Amino acid sequence: MLWTNKYSPKNFKEVLGNNKAKDEISEWIDNWLINKPQKPLLLVGPPGTGKTTLAHLAAHEFADHIELNASDKRSYDILLGTVGEASATGSLFNQGLKLIILDEVDGIHGTDDRGGIRAITKIIKEGHHPLVMMANDPYSKRIKSLKSKCQVISIRKVHTNSIVALLKKICLKEGVEFEEYVLRTLAKRSNGDLRSAINDLEIIARGKESITTEDLKIISQKDDIHNIFDSVRTVLKSKNPQRIKDAMRVEADPAFMLELITENIPREYEKKHEIQNAYEMISKADIYLGRAFQTRNYGYWKYSYDLMSLGVALSKDETYKKFARYTNSTVYAMLSKSRAKRDLQDRVAAKIGEKTHTSLKVAKQQFPYLEIMFQNNEIAWELAEYFRLENDEVKLFRSRKIKKPKTVQSKTIQEENQVKKVSNSKKIVDKKIKEKITSIHPPVKKIKSTQNKESIKKEDKIEDSKSKSNKKVSKSKSKEKQVSLFSFK
């Protein structure tokens, strides 16, 4: 059995650190057990801090659970077919409640996991059972929509002294003699990852009676992947070039890192010339970053990273010992708020570009001049009619509505009068044409008197009798003309 499993905590008391998080999870469990449904839990923290352990300890309280690991495919259909079905059915234990565990929800991506977040959202909305999810990156865009629907609990790194104490305990139980320096080195190298520290100890100590500093050579120095805010804090707090370079080895978009450092410079630096020099380095880093994206030559990234990290760090005269609360970049929030305005600008620029045969960029360059031209009511009316701008699109250039000019009103009245005159003249011409037609071809008068009707009926009867007599004569003549085969007159 691996030592990580052998010495894993059996209850919440044995879990190292994160006392506040443990209390919140315990309270969450108690509320579920007394029929008080709670929001799903989202445990967020670096790897090896005990998120999965806490979820499994919570599962012991419910006695029935289902778990989906990061190695499993987590598409929309699979999640609804497994977790979704489990969340809709009851359990035989603990009042019918079962705990559903989803590990590393921030890792859901790609074709295999398509629709995974959408399925989790549906499970949260329609499920009736407690749900615990874990994520490593608190700033991942994939879990942004889940945060508002969950109770987010931050799981912090385990302190180095706590890790050293646990490693000593393991060595005593395994009968391994140790040097204090070795265990403290393992704890420091783990960077708060308790699981990593236990694994390293097992590698150098299993099957041995003692461990020394020579055994540390077996384990190579790890490539530490820092938290994004830890990297920003190191850049703004330190002046050690090697430490800053190590801190910048982080899996993050360089543009996002640039925005975070830019946002927090005035929160840390106090002197004007320090802030000025730091932003000068930021502007140069932005230039190289733009060149990398435009030319697709990503070799420029290293210059951008050095300028935004070493350049900004060395812009300060001395390190500050104060506490500064760093924040996320406000640029993306501002962009999301101004999206409607940008869409409006694009729509107006498309209409102007269609009429003037120019690109969107050139059309937008004319906006300041159009704002001046739209101050004149008559010109504004003509431009709005020519470009076919709607009322909300006109507001881009002027705040007040466009009133129909008097000249336009008089023109419309004249046009309406002309239309009326033309229609009246047509009616007169049609009348005259009808009168001429009636004079040439008078209409046949209808017979109204009863005498005329009777005479007409008599004439019709006479004609019928004549036609009948004619028919009889014709028949007789035809009979006379017929000759028998046996008559020889």
- Beta strands (DSSP E) in 415-475 are none
- 419, part of any domain: no
- Residue 485's pLDDT is 45
Angle at 239 between CA 238 and CA 245, to 5 degrees: 85
| Cα 24–chain centre separation | 30
Q: At residue 134, what are phi and psi to the nearest 5 degrees?
A: -125, 145
- 235, part of any domain: yes
Token pair of 237, please? 């707090």
- Residue 328's pLDDT is 75
Q: Please compute the mean of the pLDDT values over residues 417-442 and round it to a whole number.
A: 72
Asked if pLDDT for residue 456 goes beyond 70, the answer is no
Same domain, 150 and 25: yes
Same domain, 144 and 259: no
Same domain, 205 and 77: no
Q: Please compute the mean of the pLDDT values over residues 70-93 and round it to a whole number.
A: 53
SS3 356: helix
- Residue 217's pLDDT is 74
- 431, part of any domain: no
Whether the Cβ atoms of residue 155 and residue 50 lie closer than 8 Å to each other: yes
HEC sequence for 173-205: HHCCECCHHHHHHHHHHHCCCHHHHHHHHHHHH
Instruction: Write the DSSP symbol of residue 115.
Output: T
- Residue 100's pLDDT is 83
Rounded CA separation 476/467 (Å): 15
Q: How many CB atoms neighbour CB 61 within 10 A?
A: 19
Quick one: pLDDT band at residue 70, thresholds 50, 70, 90?
very low
SS3 133: strand
Same domain, 43 and 128: yes
Same domain, 267 and 364: no
Q: At residue 388, what are phi and psi to the nearest 5 degrees?
A: 60, 50
Q: Please compute the mean of the pLDDT values over residues 351-368 and round it to a whole number.
A: 91
The highest-confidence range among 157-166, 184-193, 425-434, by mean pLDDT, is 157-166
Burial of 345 (0-12, 13-18, 19+ CB in 10 A): middle
Domain boundary at 135, 154, 173, which?
154
- 412, part of any domain: no
Assign residue 137 the CATH number of its domain: 3.40.50.300
- Residue 40's pLDDT is 87
Rounded CA separation 29/51 (Å): 15
SS3 409: helix
Whether the Cβ atoms of residue 38 and residue 153 lie closer than 8 Å to each other: no
The residue behind tokens 């830890």 is 230
- 448, part of any domain: no
SS3 4: helix
- Tens of pLDDT, residues 282-312: 999 999 999 988 888 888 888 998 999 999 9
Q: Please compute the mean of the pLDDT values over residues 188-192 and round it to a whole number.
A: 81
Lowest mean pLDDT among 79-83, 245-249, 290-294, 472-476: 472-476
Rounded CA separation 129/219 (Å): 44
Rounded CA separation 108/249 (Å): 23
Same domain, 140 and 43: yes
Domain boundary at 109, 134, 154, which?
154
Rounded CA separation 129/38 (Å): 9
Count of structural domains, the chain: 4
Domain boundary at 356, 371, 394, which?
394
- 399, part of any domain: no
Render 50-101 in DSSP notation, one character per residue.
SHHHHHHHHHHHHS-EEEE-TTS---HHHHIIIIIHHHHS--SSGGG--EEE
- Residue 295's pLDDT is 86
Q: Which is more confidently placed, 106 or 461? A: 106
- 380, part of any domain: yes
Lowest mean pLDDT among 140-154, 230-244, 295-309, 359-373: 140-154
Same domain, 346 and 274: no
Same domain, 180 and 283: no
Asked if pLDDT for residue 331 goes beyond 80, the answer is no
Same domain, 198 and 325: no
Rounded CA separation 230/224 (Å): 12
Same domain, 194 and 274: no
Rounded CA separation 76/118 (Å): 7
Assign residue 197 the CATH number of its domain: 1.10.8
- Tens of pLDDT, residues 252-283: 788 888 988 999 999 999 899 999 999 999 99
Rounded CA separation 211/322 (Å): 40
Q: Which is more confidently placed, 344 or 215? A: 344
Asked if pLDDT for residue 458 goes beyond 90, the answer is no
Whether the Cβ atoms of residue 127 and residue 39 lie closer than 8 Å to each other: no
Q: Which is more confidently placed, 473 or 324? A: 324
Q: How many CB atoms neighbour CB 65 within 10 A?
A: 21
Q: Please compute the mean of the pLDDT values over residues 329-358 and round it to a whole number.
A: 82
Q: Please compute the mean of the pLDDT values over residues 347-366 and round it to a whole number.
A: 91
- Tens of pLDDT, residues 94-139: 456 778 888 877 766 544 445 567 777 777 777 777 888 888 877 7
Same domain, 150 and 22: yes
Rounded CA separation 283/298 (Å): 18
Q: Please compute the mean of the pLDDT values over residues 355-360 and round it to a whole number.
A: 91
- Residue 312's pLDDT is 93
- Residue 83's pLDDT is 59
Q: Which is more confidently placed, 486 or 4? A: 4
- 481, part of any domain: no
Residue 187 vs residues 74, 205, 210: alpha-carbon distances, Å: 34, 15, 18
Same domain, 29 and 145: yes
- Tens of pLDDT, residues 204-220: 888 888 888 887 777 75
Q: Which is more confidently placed, 250 or 187? A: 187
- Range(s) of the domain holding residue 180: 160-218
Q: Which is more confidently placed, 387 or 409? A: 387
- Residue 98's pLDDT is 78
Q: Please compute the mean of the pLDDT values over residues 38-67 and round it to a whole number.
A: 84
